[in-house]
Amino acid sequence: MFEIDVTKRLKGIAFNFKFSADSNRIVLFGPSGAGKSSIIKMIAGFFSPDKGHIKLNSKIFFDSGSKINIPVNTRKVGYLPQEYTLFPHLNVKENIQYGLNFSDKSNPGYSIGEIAEKLGISEKLDSSVQKLSGGQRQRVALARILVLKPSILLLDEPFSALDSSTAESLRELVADISDELNIPSIFITHNLSDAYMFAKDLVLVEDGKIVEFGKKEELYSKPAHTESARLMGFKNIWNAYHISGNRVLCDKGYEFTLDKENKREDATHICIRPENVMIIRPDHDIKSSLKENIVTGRINRMKNAGKDYFISIISDNGLAIHTVAPVHACERMDLGINKKASVSLKQESIVLTKDK
């Protein structure tokens, strides 16, 4: 169990971070400048909070009330930044071994051979780091941390400078190692796909505060706050003016039917993901499951993203609706700018949220 509840004033801005997670794979997700790096640097001990506590299981890293502040070198934290921070005059093995100079001899970590094998760099141990690719250099940097058997692994967007394929393989590798060696990992990213693929627990960070945290599946499909919905890719967010039973009145006079389980009288907004807005094929009979929440309008934008089109529709009453559909389906339906289109908002996918 990891737990943090701290406040810190930085450059005149007050940051307040409070969340807990019981899994070994935690992702801090949010835009650049939200405060994500500040969180893990306080966990590492690079600088101290003004007030609060930081705990990992039974180990207290920081507690202002008890005047506990464990030094960086005894927290046994593995910190991996974007930069490789390798010594160019040392080969791969010597770079990895360098970390062992600062290890606790009474509590040895893993062997270099064991970690090199897990990271797929066994054949590179005698190579110069200057001859390695970016992905291989990050594997060496990661190996130097892992041989110390850290109590927690902190990853500050370490793969953002790599090509997408290399970054994806390294992200999956770290996830596997975290599970296999049972090392808690906190991963920073502003990429939603990366966040979802790595996380078990997801923490949403914005403007120096925690917006919401919890299991990734819950935050992805049913966020509680409107700010969370925006961060999680809900492109369709409208005001909720009146909720009665399983009906909600929103912008432009539209009234939509909700799933019976989706009731929240204090909601301020109605949200639905673009992929849950279904385009109705004009040459097919409408299925009974799609007969509710139908909106008609005209397509005003189509953006080709490779395998999918991101589509914007302006309804007859002026409501902007965003959806996504495979390229082959768009071609089959002969969709195009200014053409008429009807969509159905799946009632079980409509989420009611409240401003935080």
**For residue range 13-58, what is the model confidence (pLDDT) as tens digits?**
889 999 999 999 999 999 988 999 999 999 999 999 999 999 999 9
User: If pLDDT is split at 50, 70 and 90, which confidence band does 102 have?
Assistant: low
Residues 262-315 pLDDT 10s: 778 889 999 999 999 999 977 666 665 567 899 999 999 999 999 999 999 999
Of the pLDDT bands very low, low, confident and very high (cuts 50, 70, 90), residue 220 is very high
Q: CA 160, CA 325: separation in Å to the nearest integer?
A: 28
Burial degree of 154 (CB within 10 A; 0-12, 13-18, 19+): buried
Determine the pLDDT at residue 244.
87
Query: From the CB of residue 289, how many other CB atoms can be counted at a distance below 10 Å?
Result: 11
Is pLDDT above 80 for 94? yes
Helices marked H in the chain:
36-44, 72-75, 92-98, 112-119, 134-146, 164-181, 192-198, 216-221, 226-231, 327-332
pLDDT digit string (tens) for 283-292? 666 665 567 8
Residues 356, 350: Cα–Cα separation, whole Å: 19
- % of the chain beyond a pLDDT of 90: 75
Q: Considering only CA atoms, which of 147, 176, 172 is closest in space to residue 159?
A: 172
Share of the chain above pLDDT 70, in %: 95
Residue 221 has pLDDT above 90, yes or no: yes
Q: Which residue has the tokens 């400078």?
A: 161
| Cβ atoms < 10 Å from Cβ of 213 | 20
Distance from C-alpha of 314 to C-alpha of 297, rounded to nearest angstrom: 5
The pTM of this model reads 0.91
The pLDDT of 213-218, averaged and rounded, is: 96
Q: What is the mean pLDDT of residues 134-155?
A: 92
**What token pair was written down for 39?**
């969180």
The Cα–Cα gap between 233 and 170 comes to 24
Q: Name beta bridge partners: 28.
A: 188, 203
Compute the mean pLDDT over every residue in the chain, rounded to the nearest whole number.
91
Q: Which residue in the block uniquely carries the two structure tokens 């080709």?
A: 304
Distances in whole angstroms, Cα of residue 131 to Cα of each of 89, 92, 106, 144, 168: 12, 10, 35, 18, 22
> How confident is the model over 330-335, as a mean pLDDT?
92
**Euclidean distance between CA atoms 244 and 350, whole angstroms:** 15
What domains are defined for the chain? 2-221 (3.40.50.300), 233-353 (2.40.50.100)
Dump pLDDT digits (tens) for 242-255.
Answer: 888 889 999 999 99
The three-state secondary structure class of 22 is coil
Task: Report the residue count for the chain.
Answer: 356
Q: Which residue matches tokens 């893990």?
A: 40
